Each structure stands twice: as structure tokens, then as C-alpha cells.
Amino acid sequence: MSDEKHDDVLLKVDHLSMYFGHGTFVKKAVNDVSFEVRKGEVFGLVGESGCGKTTTGRTIIKLYDATSGSVYFDGKRIVAGTGAYKDEIKHLRKRKRELAKSSDANAAKELEECARRIGELQNEIRKAKYDHKHCDDEFRKEEKARINEEYDALIAEAKPEDVSRLQREKRRKLRIASRTKLVTQIQMIYQDPVASLDPRMTVREIISEGLIVQGVRDKKYITDQVYEMLDTVGLVHEHADRYPHEFSGGQRQRIGIARSVVMKPKLIIADEPISALDVSIRAQVINLLNELRETMGMTILFIAHDLSVVKYFSNRIGVMYFGNLVELADSDELFRHPLHPYTRSLLSAIPLPDPDTEKNRVRIRYNPLLDHERTDEEPLFREVCPGHSVRCTMKEFEAYKKQVEEE
Ligand SMILES: Nc1ncnc2c1ncn2[C@@H]1O[C@H](COP(=O)(O)OP(=O)(O)O)[C@@H](O)[C@H]1O
Ligand SMILES: [Mg+2]
């Protein structure tokens, strides 16, 4: 299994692409996106509707099969697309056919090089398929070893009357570990709290469903967890036996959060969790997420369509446009020195609190045809200064660098 270890990186999205459709009708919903989310931080992913934010989130949790690229979670590769490798092989095979016909002196050498590279890529595909399929097995093995070690030590030191209880607990945890998937450590919170909750299930059933699927049978433990989660998200125990339609939008979103948090995830992907809510209760939900981050040490990938929401909440921000990540920086840095014209246009859309300055606020519109010089060069994601990257051409890159130095 390929391990990429960085101490503080929890999620690493590496050249991830997700295309829908085939042939001439390909929709590049996510195109070669790379970013890292560090432990304990809130990473904001921002961009207008349809730019590929939800698809990015859903590909990370393996709801879609990635076209190409990888996702590493806690050092393990959980998503591994093979499209880029296959494309390169196709390209190399074509080249091989051309070379076979040519009488060029260097052809034999290049042919050999092509064959070597194809072998390398086939190996990569094998590795990717293995990781995609077996990341859970490896994770389970590690979990079981950890539980065994923990409980064996406890049991060795326990008083005789506690031994059978500890053994029961150990068996229960081992059973759950044998069913746990690595991706259950990533939970998603959805935009629409009405559509994402089953109307025929009580709050108790909604919150406990994930635990039951995982193999938890202890009724008391489940009840305790449900109540604890209701406390955590600011609802009361009496709410447990009601149905989603009996709640307001904000309360439903709290139920959605409880359903995710009960799985004790390390990472929460919050997909526009407040967009469908009343303005007056948005801050409450943000505060709740912030509390969870502090008390439970959770990391949050926060998806939003405008920058005003993520401004005070995110440590770092990635800006997406039409499937591409166009800019990435620390929050403060992004607001102080936005470089990409699309980021500038997003910033100009934020209303200002002061009525005098608000009156004079000029809304900048992004027009890719006017805002970039016409060229055949494919823009690449480049680091302009430490921690601040922009998708740009070489010429733009030089200009941005100069701009940063001057500011
Ligand atoms: N299952 C799908 N099949 C085909 N196209 C899709 C699918 N899901 C999303 N898309 C398209 O991919 C693009 C990105 O969508 P999405 O990730 O939902 O954007 P966002 O969440 O940023 O609003 C959109 O153009 C959307 O129409
Ligand atoms: Mg979306």
C-alpha cells in the first residue's frame, strides 16, 4: 500500500479528476484538483454553483469512481483513479505503432523507452486498483491490532470482577472494527436538510442508523449515544422520537450534524450546510461546527458558494472555477492579496458592513476571455509565494510574483 505521510495532513487530494459521460459528451466536473487539508483546520472550498464542489466532496468519499488522481486520508490512499494512466498508455501505444513503421535510427531506443513506460504505468494501475479495493482491509487490520493491544493490557491489570466486562467490550469493539470502513471516518453534511433526512424515520433512528450498520447491538449504548448527540447539537432528549417534518430548517440541520458526528469522524465535509437556512440561524450552525471542531478535534472541509460565509471560519481557502482549482491560500492572505481575477470577482461580491463604502462598492465580473491573455499554453497550478498558489500561465505567474513583491 502506498503511504504518503505528512505529520499534519489529514486529507490529501492529488490531481483528482472526475468526468461524467463518455466520448464527445464528457463533462469535466472536477479537473486535476490538488489540495491538502491539515488536522484540526477548516478548509473552505468556494466557487459558484456548478463548479464541481459537491462532485469533489462525493469523489473523496468514494460515492463516485474517480476518473484519475488520488485521495489520501490519514496517510492511506482511499481513492485511486486510473484514467490518466490509461490515457498515457493509449498515447504510448499509438507512438509505438508509428515508431514501428519508421526507419529512424533512434526509433529502436524510443520504442524500448515506450515499452518500459507502459510497464511502469500498468504497474501503477495495478497498485491503484489494489488501494482502491483494499484500503479498508488494511485499516481494519490496524484497528483490530490496536484494540487487541489496548484491551489485553487493560485485562492483564484488571481486577477479577472486571475481566468479563472488559472481554465483552473488547469483543464488541472487534466486531465493529471488522465492519468499519475507512471512509466512515469522513462524514458529509448536506446542503438541504429536508431532502437528506428520511421523513419516515424518527430522529432516534436517523442518528443511530450509522451505528447499527456498523454492527453496534448494545441498545443502551445506542440510546446513550443518541442523547449525547442531541445534547451536543443543542436539541433535547424529547426530540428523539419525533419525525423530521416536526422541526425547523435549522433544527433539521442539527439533526443532520448529529447523524454525522455520532460516527466520530475525523473529517467532516460540510457541503453548503447553511445555504438553505434562514440568515438569522446561519451563525448558530457555524458556531456549532466551530464548537465541534474545538471539543472533538474534528477537521472540516467547508464547501460554500460565496466567500462571505467562509471568511471568518476557514484557516485556508481554495477557490474553484469550472472544475479547476484556481487559487489557494491562507484566508487572510487570500483576502489581502487575491491574485486570480475570478477570486477578485468573488471578493467584490461581498457586501460591506459600512453603508458609505458599500455604496461605492464596485462589482467586478470575471470574464475568462478578457481577463487572460489569449494563448495556447495550458495554465498550471503554481505557487506564487509560500502557501499561495494560483492557476496561471508562465507569463501570468511572473506578473503575480512581481505583484506580490510590490505589495
Ligand atoms: N451525476 C452527474 N452526472 C452528470 N453531470 C453531473 C453529475 N453531477 C454533477 N454533474 C455536473 O458537474 C458539474 C459540477 O456539479 P457540482 O459538483 O454539483 O457543482 P457545485 O456543487 O459546485 O454546485 C455541473 O455542471 C453538474 O451539472
Ligand atoms: Mg453543490
29 touches ligand 1 (CB under 6 Å) = yes
Q: What is the pLDDT of residue 350?
A: 86
Quick one: pLDDT band at residue 276, thresholds 50, 70, 90?
confident
119 touches ligand 1 (CB under 6 Å) = no
Residue ID of nearest Cα to ligand 1 atom 3? 20
Q: What is the pLDDT of residue 1?
A: 40
* Cross-strand bridge partners of residue 321: 324
Q: For residue 4, is pLDDT > 70?
A: no
Please give the average per-residue pLDDT across 344-370, as a whole number.
Answer: 88
Quick one: pLDDT band at residue 342, thresholds 50, 70, 90?
very high
Contacting residues for 302 by C-beta, under 8 A, at least 6 apart: 42, 43, 44, 45, 270, 273, 289, 310, 313, 314
Contact yes or no for 373/393 (Cβ under 8 A): yes
- The alpha carbon of 50 and the centre of ligand 2 are apart by a number of angstroms equal to 7
- The alpha carbon of 222 and the centre of ligand 1 are apart by a number of angstroms equal to 36
Quick one: pLDDT band at residue 244, thresholds 50, 70, 90?
very high
Point out the ligand 1 atom lying closest to the alpha carbon of residue 52. 17
288 touches ligand 1 (CB under 6 Å) = no
Q: What is the pLDDT of residue 150?
A: 95
Q: What is the pLDDT of residue 152?
A: 94
54 touches ligand 1 (CB under 6 Å) = yes
Percent of the chain with pLDDT over 70: 99
Please give the average per-residue pLDDT across 336-365, as a whole number.
Answer: 89
Q: What is the pLDDT of residue 2?
A: 41
Please give the average per-residue pLDDT across 60-82, as a whole number.
Answer: 94
Q: What is the pLDDT of residue 353?
A: 82
Which of 97-111, 213-227, 256-270 bottoms out in mean pLDDT, i.e. has the lowest? 97-111
- The alpha carbon of 206 and the centre of ligand 2 are apart by a number of angstroms equal to 23
Q: How many angstroms from the chain centroid is the CA of residue 234?
A: 26
**Mutational pocket test of ligand 1: of 55, 63, 305, the residue with most ligand atoms within 8 Å of the beta carbon:** 55
Pairing of strands 388-392, 324-330: antiparallel
Q: For residue 290, is pLDDT > 80?
A: yes
Angle at 167 between CA 163 and CA 173, to 5 degrees: 145
Rounded-to-integer distance, Cα 204 and Cα 202, Å: 5
Please give the average per-residue pLDDT across 240-248, as a whole number.
Answer: 94
Rounded-to-integer distance, Cα 339 and Cα 342, Å: 8
Burial of 161 (C-beta count, 10 Å sphere; 0-12/13-18/19+): exposed
Q: What is the pLDDT of residue 61?
A: 94
Q: Which domains does the chain have, with CATH numbers?
A: 1-74+308-407 (3.40.50.300), 193-305 (3.40.50.300)
Please give the average per-residue pLDDT across 399-406, as a whole number.
Answer: 92
191 touches ligand 1 (CB under 6 Å) = no
| Chain mean pLDDT for the chain | 91
Q: What is the pLDDT of residue 224?
A: 96
Point out the ligand 1 atom lying closest to the alpha carbon of residue 56. 17
Rounded-to-integer distance, Cα 217 and Cα 342, Å: 51
Please write down the long-range contacts of 230-239, taking CB distance under 8 Å and 24 or more positions apart.
230/203, 230/258, 232/258, 232/261, 232/292, 233/257, 233/258, 233/261, 233/288, 234/284, 234/288, 235/203, 239/203
Quick one: pLDDT band at residue 360, thresholds 50, 70, 90?
confident
Which of 223-237, 269-283, 314-328 bottoms out in mean pLDDT, i.e. has the lowest? 269-283
Q: For residue 10, is pLDDT > 60?
A: yes
Residue range 146-173, pLDDT digits in tens: 999 999 999 999 999 999 999 999 998 9
Residue ID of nearest Cα to ligand 1 atom 11? 29
Burial of 378 (C-beta count, 10 Å sphere; 0-12/13-18/19+): exposed
Contact yes or no for 42/315 (Cβ under 8 A): yes
Residue range 11-51, pLDDT digits in tens: 999 999 999 998 788 999 999 999 999 999 999 999 999 99
55 touches ligand 1 (CB under 6 Å) = yes
Identify which of 44, 57, 46 has the alpha carbon closest to the alpha carbon of residue 330.
Answer: 44
20 touches ligand 1 (CB under 6 Å) = yes
